[in-house]
Structure formats: structure tokens, C-alpha cells
């Protein structure tokens, strides 16, 4: 898994245009679009999106779901920030967030609930593991407000 100070792999930047930008980004991985906790997490980020935007921060959500699943999820949660469909697991592997899940006797890969704060130079500034989907967006926003309003060291 990528750690603080690691650089985002180049292939991820080409695979996901939103990650290639030279802005601050919050990339949050969620396990499944059709679950209550994933919907809660997405809605919390959406409700705070204007505050993130005021800081110049782009939110990006990602899961191993398909584009049609993300389209339904976007409509259901009224999400306006980018969602990355990663059914091949390419992005999840690059960030090291995939885990095995058995569904109906079949082995599938799914993303763990992990969030990365990425700097304009594509470094991991902060990583959050096993987050509370209800409170997490507020915690990330508070951390970014402190980080981006602090004088440089």
C-alpha cells in the first residue's frame, strides 16, 4: 500500500486523468457502490465538496465497480465529483488497496475503505485506513484546512 511521502505511480496518473492534475486531491476508495456505508461516505464528501473546492482540493472516489454501477451510484447519491470505475483493479493495485472477497462462492477483488490526500506534485501527504464512512469526510476536510492554511515549513 502506498504510504505517506510515496509518489503516485505514473501509470495511475495516465489511467485516471483526474489524478494527473497539479492540484490537491482526495482519492477515496470504497468497497461497493450498492452498500449503505459507501453511499453514506460518498454523500458526506458531496455535502462538503464546496468546502473542499474552496481550498482548491479535487475529490475523486474509486471502487472496483463498473461504469454502469457508478452511473447509478452517482445518480442515487447526487455526486458531482469524479468517480473512477476500476473493475480491472488497475488503480486499486497501484495504490495497494485491493483485498479478496468471496461473493456467491466466487473470489472477487474489492477495494478497502482507504483514503489518500495527494499533493500537486503527486505525493501521498496523508493516508486514512479503515475509516468511519459517516465522519470521515469531515476529518479529511479539517486536516486539509490545517495543512493548507499552515505556513510552509
Query: Using one digit for the tens of pLDDT, what is the confidence trace for 14-25?
Result: 667 777 788 999
> Phi, psi at residue 31, to the nearest 5°?
-65, -50
Cα–Cα distance for residue pair 26/118, rounded to 1 Å: 6
pLDDT tens digits for range 98-133: 987 766 777 778 899 999 999 999 999 999 998 999
Q: What contacts 106, CB < 8 A, 6 or more positions away?
A: none
Virtual CA dihedral for 144, 150, 151, 153, nearest 10 degrees? -70
pTM for this model (two decimals):
0.89
Residues 133 and 38: beta-carbon distance below 8 Å: yes
pLDDT tens digits for range 44-64: 999 999 999 999 999 999 999
Sorted by where each starts, the structural domains of the chain and their CATH numbers stand as 10-145 (3.40.30.10)
Q: Can you tell me whether residue 40 is helix, strand or coil? A: helix
Residues 27 and 62: beta-carbon distance below 8 Å: yes
Amino acid at each position: 500500500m502506498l504510504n505517506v511521502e510515496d509518489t503516485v505511480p505514473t501509470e495511475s496518473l495516465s489511467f485516471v486523468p483526474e489524478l494527473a492534475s497539479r492540484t490537491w486531491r482526495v482519492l477515496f476508495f470504497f468497497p461497493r457502490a450498492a452498500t449503505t456505508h459507501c453511499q453514506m461516505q460518498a454523500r458526506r464528501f458531496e455535502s462538503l465538496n464546496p468546502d473542499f473546492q474552496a481550498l482548491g482540493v479535487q475529490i475523486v472516489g474509486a471502487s472496483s465497480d463498473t461504469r454502469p454501477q457508478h452511473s447509478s451510484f452517482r445518480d442515487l447519491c447526487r455526486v458531482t465529483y469524479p468517480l473512477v470505475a476500476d473493475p480491472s483493479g488497475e488503480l486499486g493495485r497501484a495504490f495497494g488497496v485491493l483485498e479478496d472477497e468471496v461473493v456467491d462462492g466466487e473470489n472477487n477483488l474489492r477495494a478497502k475503505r482507504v483514503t489518500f490526500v495527494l499533493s500537486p506534485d503527486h505525493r501521498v501527504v496523508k493516508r486514512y485506513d479503515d475509516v468511519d464512512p459517516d465522519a470521515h469526510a469531515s476529518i479529511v476536510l479539517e486536516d486539509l484546512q490545517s495543512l493548507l492554511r499552515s505556513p510552509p515549513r
